[in-house]
Structure 1
């Protein structure tokens, strides 16, 4: 059969159009936590995180195979390497504001996930033309919103929503218990950060979970995460409970035996505890923070809680991390007083 020149041209033109269409990757628009619209590949498979807390949620929704580099943050590296092998094996282009832009560019990322707080490095990443999606995990009101954004980046909306629903339901129940605490019974919490006399302000996630459980951050009027205070100031605040975070240089025993602290009522009543940790410290803005919130309420208001903490811990890790913990495992976890090592704080 003979084809006319017109027919041949039409066939060739159709082929070119089809090939051109195949070469154009489909894109989606992500609206990040700042309201900025970001264009990224619909099936992005080269994602980098420079935020130290988002990688755990990415693992929870089963999207860690789409990462080419990540910031693990202050995690238990041995446990991460054992239970999250791919996540633990990934390289890093840096964390928070300590990002190596040259190394980041070598990874050829299709999108970078960063915190809204890292102003300078975010500007640098945008300047070299890499799409960047900003999230905000430090503000409790934005945590679930940020998880929703991460789910959309990876096309894992259903998996993200499953965790968000769980998180919201647990937080609602905890807050209802907290709201039932009378003003006369409300307690205040002093959080010991990197050292006993370093504490965090009211704009930090830990202060928000204190409010949710029906308590309050003792360090009223402060902001930021590394405020150095005097022992006299701690006495003036007179906290009902002292919580040492797992990266604090002191132990519970150190505080109880320290003459400088011995007259504080919370110390005299032995209301001094260390926040638990597993993959990461439970008060950090990571999925495990829901366990830290439950634990904190159970320590501050033991007679008010109705949940079984051991059961909650077991169900959480099985459901979201595919980790089976026995009662003895949970007991060991809660008694673990080893320290978490943090990098020195840096400005954005």
Structure 2
């Protein structure tokens, strides 16, 4: 029979075990509630995988095709049993810099805080100040061919912490190396680290997609939003970007799948400033938030994106065009009485409040949005509200569910001034409806102004539309397309 002391000992021991088990269970519960990162996402890096073949003028970086040089004779070669490459294009493609010093016949390569200095016809080089032999074979040294500098491939890549794989069968070579990065400040003030050279872009928002088209970077798209979105004219988009329908459908800013996005290995994801990006931040993906919802914010977003994807000149061109024509409209309409305007959304009772672009747009065009004092972005009003507002003009977008005739014939709206005077108009569209915060919206401002104020601007709108698409998108509109845009 056990004595009392041993019985008490067993009780204490059992209580101690229960405490330990309770602690473990609590720990597991807390740990399981934390956001998990996959091993892939935890180590997400901007890795460049560069593929090329000996004797060929082109190479691929993460699937994006580039040329070594405009001279088709410039290509990697084998000399004395070693691979030599025309170095500039490779280094610049991963964000580095190559400087040629004519007097000393030196080549400086700057990349990821490394500095390599090579001298033509010399078998030695300086790597971060330290002298190194290029190869045990004294004949392996940089040389000039077709006025271009050729460098021993292995020496350069390995001293920049990269790896090289050879395939002797097809004479192909793969370089794997971390890319140089830069910091971009997005519309919300977030610091976003992106590669200096961007080749793989995902857009989760229609307006961002059009912006990327205007910046002449549609060939960098690897995926975009759902094709079911009604605000886009996909047939016209495919005329400008022939490969658009072959892109992966990655959802929109509302319903994206973070793991699918991760598998695409993007250099940049572009989405609106109101997107919930918590899941994307958890897997360390490069997300640029852009605010389009005022003229100033739209232009700032164009500038930010132009900087991110190395299209500063294209961004400047768009910004200058917008500002010049915005000022033209404002100057012409200065002092005129503002007309009461209602801009509908998808239905007659859906509209836009003080925070959204349509309100600013109407004001520039010489109108006054009857919903300007309602705070928020997308709003919903009643038919009774619309009767009280009694707008002089009603504008419906191209994505409106219905037609202007539906509004003109609606029994409840017969006392609205715009309906009585038949001043209900459908806003034009080509790539996207002209009322939306996109680069095309400057044409929407012209169009709205003419509808509200008559021919006071004295511009040839048809010619303006034609020039806009040619200069901004590089696309020549046909007469039929012009007619389709201008129809009421």
Q: What's the TM-score, normalizing by structure 2? A: 0.62
- Secondary structure, aligned partner of 2:307: helix
Aligned with 2:186 (options 21, 29, 32): 32
Name the counterpart of 2:482. 330
Aligned with 2:312 (options 132, 152, 157): 157
Asked if the contact 1:204/1:223 (under 8 Å) is kept, the reply is no
Name the counterpart of 1:291. 443
- Secondary structure, aligned partner of 1:242: strand
Q: Does 1:44 align with 2:198?
A: yes
| Equivalence map 1:1-348=2 (5 Å) | 10-11=132-133, 15=155, 19-20=159-160, 23-71=177-225, 74-118=231-275, 120=276, 122-181=277-336, 185-335=337-487
Q: Deviations over 1:45-95 (max 9, x none)?
A: 122111221111211221112221123653111222233213343113211
Residue 24 (structure 1) shift: 4.0
Q: 1:17 to 1:201 in 2, by over 3 A?
A: closer
* Backbone CA RMSD of aligned residues: 2.3
Q: 1:256 to 1:39 in 2, by over 3 A?
A: same
Q: 1:309 to 1:10 in 2, by over 3 A?
A: closer
**Separation (CA, whole Å) in 1 of partners of 2:342 and 2:156:** 68
- Higher strand residue share: 2
Residue 17 (structure 1) shift: 8.9
Residue 225 (structure 1) shift: 4.6
Asked if the contact 1:189/1:210 (under 8 Å) is kept, the reply is yes
Asked if the contact 2:343/2:394 (under 8 Å) is kept, the reply is yes
**Separation (CA, whole Å) in 1 of partners of 2:392 and 2:286:** 46
Name the counterpart of 1:340. none
**Separation (CA, whole Å) in 2 of partners of 1:117 and 1:268:** 38
**Separation (CA, whole Å) in 1 of partners of 2:414 and 2:313:** 51
Q: What's the TM-score, normalizing by structure 1? A: 0.86
Larger radius of gyration: 2
**Separation (CA, whole Å) in 2 of partners of 1:254 and 1:51:** 30
Q: Which runs of 4+ in 1 moved over 3 A?
A: 9-18, 21-24, 223-226, 326-329
Residue 173 (structure 1) shift: 1.0
Higher RCO structure, 1 or 2 (CA under 8 Å, sep 6+): 1
- Secondary structure, aligned partner of 1:173: helix
Q: Which runs of 5+ in 2 are unaligned?
A: 1-130, 136-153, 163-176
Asked if the contact 1:210/1:217 (under 8 Å) is kept, the reply is yes
Q: Deviations over 1:120-159 (max 9, x none)?
A: 2x12111101121111112322101100111111111011
**Separation (CA, whole Å) in 1 of partners of 2:404 and 2:442:** 23
Q: Which runs of 5+ in 1 are unaligned?
A: 1-8, 337-348
Asked if the contact 1:64/1:86 (under 8 Å) is kept, the reply is no
Q: Deviations over 1:137-189 (max 9, x none)?
A: 123221011001111111110111111111111111112223231xxx32011
Number of matched residues? Answer: 323
Q: 1:311 to 1:15 in 2, by over 3 A?
A: closer
**Separation (CA, whole Å) in 2 of partners of 1:16 and 1:196:** 64
Asked if the contact 1:310/1:327 (under 8 Å) is kept, the reply is no
**Separation (CA, whole Å) in 1 of partners of 2:287 and 2:252:** 15
